[in-house]
Amino acid sequence: MEDRLSGKTVAVLATDGFEESELIEPVKRLREAGARVEIVSIPRSEQRIRGWKDGNWSTHVDVDTTVGETDPARYEALVLPGGVMNPDKLRMDEDAVEFVRGFFEAGKPVAAICHGPWLLAEADVLDGRTVTSWPSLRTDLENAGATWVDREVVVDQGLVTSRNPSDLPAFTDKMVEEFVEGVHAGQQT
């Protein structure tokens, strides 16, 4: 077990419909690196969110806090898992969008995979950035000012993006690397 992220707390922003592997694998990798991980969600009646895998509902994950009860200042980094439903719901919640924006305002590293970058477009933090994502988001991300490329992982000044679950090994390696580096001046909006 490594401890490269010992003493750091990382937020994972998700709600129902997250792609199971895109939340579970980064959380596992972050904990292996010594990070404290908190699952942050939008307000709801239950304290658990449910994943999506192979076209069906899957595992439940306990929520530690909601965007209205916490602040980006409590965390050193942010992970945005994909899944179609998850980021689509989150980008409609103004507190979730502001939560994401707060990481960029502070220059903190952010990792987003698959459909997760939809939140970045909604938070208006992509102008001049190079990113990747699930291919269907290309136009949305370009319209938000990003340069979109088709690569397994893209790193741009503390912002790590990947396309899909098959990219998870490269994504989680770069995520940990950028989170260890901490604040990036080029990340600030």
Backbone phi, psi, residue 181, to 5°? -65, -30
Please tell me the distance from the alpha carbon of residue 185 to that of residue 170, in angstroms, as a whole number. 23
Query: Contact at 8 Å (CB) between 133 and 163?
Result: yes
Strand, helix or coil at 61?
strand
- C-alpha distances in Å from residue 34, one per residue of 10, 29, 119: 11, 9, 27
Contact in structure between 43 and 71 (CB atoms under 8 Å): no
> What are the tokens at 111?
């990792």
Alpha helices of the chain — where are they, by DSSP H?
Answer: 20-32, 85-90, 94-105, 117-122, 138-143, 168-181
Catalytic-labelled residue, pool 115, 129, 163, 174: 115
Who contacts 59 (Cβ-Cβ below 8 Å, separation ≥6)?
20, 24, 50, 51, 53
Clarify whether 115 is annotated catalytic: yes
In angstroms, the CA 166 to CA 151 distance is: 12
Active site residues: 115
